[in-house]
Structure 1
Amino acid sequence: MGLIDLPRDVLVSLPDYLDNIEDFTNASSSCRTLRHSFAGTHPNRIIRLAAASSRVFFRPDPWFLVAATARQVGQWGLKSQENTEALRDAFRGGIENLKELCIDVAGLTIEDIRRLHASRFETIYPVADLIDRMAGAQWYSTPDFWDGGVSDAYTVDCEPLKAVFHFAIYGELFESTLQSWLEPEKGLPRFDLATRLDYIRYCIPDWIFYLERTGLGAPQREKGPYMNEADVNNIPGWGAALRHILSCGRWNRPWAAIRQQVGPEWEEDSWRQQLWVQAAQIHGLAGLEMLVPGGEEKWRARLSDIRARVAAMEAEPEVQRFGQLRKGASDCPDLNRELFVVIGM
């Protein structure tokens, strides 16, 4: 008796005994019998196999796998206050801890994995290259960098590919919260500002957080990237790097061109304009395709609807202020302003 002669109820259980996603795909592609037997594998089993291969197939690890499942985890977190607190606790444990929660409560299909693999080359790498040209090695290689070669010369600790995922994960987690503000008639659940700030402080760590410029207080040293009284000099500067990117003209000009294809801008400093800017961008991994030539066409109708909903809003969402900062952060998701609150600059 060969392997494929085993009873079907045995064959469908085989993925529980495989080591990683490579074993799964190799086995399922070896013959029709195993392909059909594996077709019903539970998505949570597939994500566990994918996690076992994350350092090979989901680089950078753990950011790629978190981005792939953060939307599911966000929806899980909104189901109850208990789940929200568990999600916040995962944030405070850092990105590795968030990955563990993703593995516990989310799932992936083989079709998801194929789509993610395609997105790496179609959108993720091109956007990472764009960021590299505004905050990475390509930016620093500009002739006369410190003597006028660029308009915004600054020292930033930027790893472009990770910056893409920092931005995308925020969108995956909190786009639904933004949607709840745009569609108030639906009474959708939402995450509060404190939850979003926890994601930024612990999953996009930065040594500058310890300067306590904002009144938030320093992150807890026993949590996540700040464990064991870590030397501040060993903590990366990813928060300030992302703040620099979101304030950079090379980032904002393409988004402005996309918005203007949908409708005219509001006054630059108006709350509607600030909300419109964020609402056009915060769509997770899928939204990155708007920055790739031709990708914005797929989003035209959706952006038109978003703009109409911004125009229909009757009042600005409440703004919370911290310490002596001139500007606070809105109850409605706004990554740039939330980074400003956390960093104080």
Structure 2
Amino acid sequence: MVCLIDLPLEILSSLPLYIRNIEDFTEAASTCSILYYAFSSASPNCILRLAAASAPTFVQPHPHFLIAATARQVSDWALGNAENTERLRRAFQGGVEALFELCIEKAGLSLQDIRRLHLARFSTINPLADKIDKMAGAQWYETENFWDGGVSEAATLDTDPGRAAFQIIIYGELFASSMQAYLEPDKNLPKFDLDVRLDYIKYCIPDWVCKSYPGPYAGDVDLINYLVIKSRWNKLWRSVTREIGPDFEEKWKQKLWWDAVQVQGLEGMKVLGDGGVEDCRGTLARIRSQVEKLDEGDEPAKHSIPRRNSENHVSYAPDFSQEVYVYIQR
């Protein structure tokens, strides 16, 4: 009688293409050394698709978790290529589900990546979400005498701190490379323009209007806008930057330094954890050194966006807080 493991290795290696999800994949691979060896050749894209098939039960929040895991790959794929950039922009305009579909098509994950991401959930993502929750979420609302002076800047927000944390991380994963182009202007590195970044905020971070549409939407953009202007959020980042060096005298350099440390994606958010500054000191020192070396002529230009009775100014360099504000004030 012929058993499954008696089949040729080429056939066994193709089985992951027909397996239901990542749980079935890992369980099958663990049954014997032959399947373990055969399944080790599964492509990163195949593993990503299996992980996606496990969502939303095992990969929460969906689809933001897997977008955060793969956004940098999609960014690298599109960066410097006009056709691919336009494809990415169309994905933004289709909302978070369309962006997720593009990530599934163009990116991949290894099992090691998945393990690393699940570890990052506990070491980086959950602590970040907890900080957001304490500043603008359920824990914040539990403050005694909330509406009677218990907190400063009391407000009504429909929040999902976990998803908001991923929105911030995804922005960094998508646009950290664009920030690098402004930190090293002599290299003429490719970068996404402001309109591409605004499309991500406009279409992939839901606002109050999205409440009238089906889906797990709330005012994420309103929460993020409220969060990034709060003194407690800014105090967190000020403690990070000042451990590396004093504020720059030039306002534009200080602004660029401030924005650069906040747009490093998942790895960059480690700085907000216990001992995070020490763990990331090398990266932070490199960014600061790059800002220090910039000349006056390297200051990023600003774009004016008209309003009814005034106009807003936003940098051509990635500036998440101002871009969110500009969208809110549209």
Instruction: Give TM-score, length-normalised by structure 2.
Output: 0.94
Q: 1:30 to 1:329 in 2, by over 3 A?
A: same
Residue equivalent to 2:315? 330
Amino acid at match of 2:178: T
CA distance in structure 1 between the partners assigned to 2:217 and 2:73 by the alignment: 29
Aligned partner of residue 308 in structure 1, secondary structure: helix
Q: Secondary structure of 1:338's match?
A: helix
Higher mean C-alpha displacement, 189-198 vs 114-123? 114-123
- Contact 2:129 2:162 (8 Å CA) reproduced: yes
- Structure-1 separation of matches of 2:123 and 2:325: 31
2:251 alignment counterpart: 270
Which residue matches 2:65? 64
Deviation of 1:235 after TM superposition, in Å, equals: 6.5
Is the contact between residue 135 and residue 158 of structure 1 (CA under 8 Å) also seen in structure 2? Answer: yes
Equivalent residue, structure 1, for 2:225? 243
Contact persistence 2:160–2:218 (CA under 8 A): no
> Which 5+ residue runs of structure 1 have no aligned equivalent?
209-224
The residue aligned with 1:78 is 79
Could you say what secondary structure the match of 1:322 adopts? strand
Offset, 1:159: 0.5
Question: Residues of 2 paired with 1:235 and 1:102: CA distance?
Answer: 20
Q: Does structure 1 retain, via aligned residues, the 8 Å contact 2:270–2:280? A: no
Q: Deviations over 1:188-237 (max 9, x none)?
A: 110000000000000012137xxxxxxxxxxxxxxxx69xxx579x9632
- Offset of residue 326 of structure 1: 5.2
Q: Which amino acid aligns with 1:321?
A: S
Kindly report structure 1 stretches of 4+ aligned residues shifted beyond 6 Å. none
Task: Quote the residue 1:260 is aligned against.
Answer: 242
Q: Give 5+ residue unaligned stretches, structure 2.
A: none
Q: Is the 8 A contact 2:16 2:46 kept in 1?
A: yes
Task: Supply the AA of the counterpart residue of 2:113.
Answer: D
One of 270, 274, 283 as aligned partner of 2:264? 283
Q: Which amino acid in 1 is paired with 2:43?
A: H
Secondary structure (helix, strand or coil) at the match of 1:236 reads coil
- Counterparts of residues 173-252 of structure 1 (less than 5 Å): 173-207=174-208, 236-252=218-234
- Alpha-carbon distance in 2 for matches of 1:110, 1:79: 29
2:196 is matched by which residue type in structure 1?
A: T
Q: Amino acid of the residue matched to residue 18 of structure 1? A: I
Offset of residue 171 of structure 1: 0.2
Give aligned pairs, total: 324
Q: Which residue in the other structure is 1:319 paired with? A: 302
Identical positions, percent: 50
The separation in 1 between residues aligned to 2:58 and 2:291, in whole angstroms, is 39
TM-score normalized by the length of structure 1: 0.90
CA distance in 1: counterparts of 2:221 and 2:23, whole angstroms: 34
| CA–CA separation in structure 2 for the residues paired with 1:46 and 1:306 | 34
Deviations along 1:316-343, one digit per CA (max 9) or x if unpaired, are 2110011145541111000001011111
Deviation of 1:40 (Å):
1.4
Q: Let me know the Cα RMSD of the aligned residues.
A: 1.9
* Partner-residue secondary structure (3-state), 1:328: strand
Distance 1:132 1:300 in 2: 26
User: In structure 1, what is the Cα distance between the partners aligned to 2:129 and 2:220?
Assistant: 15
Which deviations, in whole Å up to 9, do the C-alpha atoms of 1:141-192 show, x marking residues without a partner? 1111111111111122221000000000000000000001111222211000
- Post-superposition Cα deviations, 1:287-323, rounded to whole Å, max 9, x if no partner, equal 1211110122121111111111112222321100111
How far apart, in 1, do the equivalents of 2:93 and 2:8 lie?
46
Structure 2: which amino acid aligns with 1:270?
Answer: K
After superposing the two structures, state which structure 1 stretch, 140-149 or 98-107, moved more: 140-149
The within-5 A match list for 1:13-52 is: 13-52=14-53
Q: Is the 8 A contact 1:54 1:65 kept in 2?
A: no
- Of 265, 278, 294, the match for 2:275: 294
Aligned to 1:136: 137
Report deviation, 1:95. Answer: 0.5
Counterpart CA distance in 1 for 2:189 and 2:36 is 39
- Cα gap change, 1:95/1:184 in structure 2, threshold over 3 Å: closer, same or farther? same
Partners of 1:186 and 1:25 in 2: CA distance:
43
**Counterpart-to-counterpart distance in 2, 1:69 and 1:235:** 22
Work out whether 1:303 is the aligned partner of 2:284.
yes
